[in-house]
Amino acid sequence: MLELKNLHVYIGKTHVLEDLSLEVKLGEIVALIGANGAGKTTTLMTISGLIRTRSGTISFQPDMESSRKEISRRKVEDIVSMGISHCPEGRQVFTTLSVKENLYIGAFQRRNKKDIKDDSESVFNLFPRLAERMNQRAGNLSGGEQMMLSIGRALMSRPRLLLLDEPSLGLAPMLVERLFERLDRINKEGTTILLVEQNASMALELANRAYVIETGRIVLSGTGHELSDNKEVQKAYLGLT
């Protein structure tokens, strides 16, 4: 579905991604784990067009009936319309707008009002807390509720591939568990997910496959279970000795 091949990305003079390659298959949850500053967020921002590659390719095929397209030089809005939606680190909701208004912003490229309303109802079914607060300003929501809203807003574009950046950041353990249950449901309902997550244990438990990134390079890959059992991963990211 998605293939990153030999990506080199610079931010200023800093070489952030070095010859990075990975792939996401249709229907998977793929986790990308690594330390702060390893290049995880940069990888997602490069896929979604917010950062440009110096070299390398990004190709995307939303389904088996579509042709594969190179997207590394596409505009952000074109990438969204092709079926990739990005839920950024830090939630970044529009704090002065209501929950409902935030969701509708996620559907800004769509025109069918009935479909948009139906999809907002689907988000409320997925996250009932948002339904209770649909007319409240997003800035008055808790951190967990803002994370739900950010994910819901991303889903409003009807993505085939959802990019999630640190969804558990700052959440209480009980909320993290509930959130990951929702992510599993989103995936089972047909959305492929590329997940960046510092809670490596939860990410590897959820993911079909995973990659470990260090200083802009992929250093390990395998199934979630394989990496959970890897001694190096256990020591570096799972807090085990």
Return the pLDDT at 241.
59
Mean pLDDT of 119-133: 91
Give the contacts of 220 (CB within 8 A, at least 6 positions apart). Answer: 211, 212, 227, 230, 232, 233
Residue ranges, CATH 3.40.50.300, the chain: 2-83+159-237
SS3 for 226? helix
Choose the CATH number for 2-83+159-237 among 3.40.50.300, 3.30.70.20, 3.40.720.10, 3.40.50.2300.
3.40.50.300
Which of 7-11, 178-182, 234-238 bottoms out in mean pLDDT, i.e. has the lowest? 234-238
Q: Identify the bridge partners of residue 2 per DSSP, sorted by sequence position.
A: 24, 60
Q: pLDDT (tens digit, 9 = 90+) per residue, 190-223?
A: 999 999 998 899 999 999 999 999 999 999 999 9
In the block, tokens 């042709």 appear at 67
Nearest in space to 31 (alpha carbons), one of 232, 174, 226 = 226
Q: How far is CA 212 from the centre of its chain?
A: 16
Residue 144 banded pLDDT, cuts 50, 70, 90 = confident
Mean of the per-residue pLDDT values of the chain = 92
Nearest in space to 146 (alpha carbons), one of 163, 118, 169 = 169
Q: Is pLDDT at 109 greater than 90 in this prediction?
A: no
Longest alpha-carbon distance in the chain: 54
Mean pLDDT of 173-183: 88
Residue pair 1/64 in contact (Cβ under 8 Å)? The answer is no
Q: Is pLDDT at 178 greater than 90 in this prediction?
A: no
Mean pLDDT of 22-41: 95
Q: Rounded to an integer, what distance in angstroms lies between the CA atom of residue 1 and that of residue 31?
A: 15
Q: pLDDT (tens digit, 9 = 90+) per residue, 77-103?
A: 999 999 999 998 877 899 999 999 999
Cα–Cα distances in Å, from 49 out to 108, 111, 158? Answer: 17, 23, 18
The H or E element that residue 201 is part of is helix 200-206
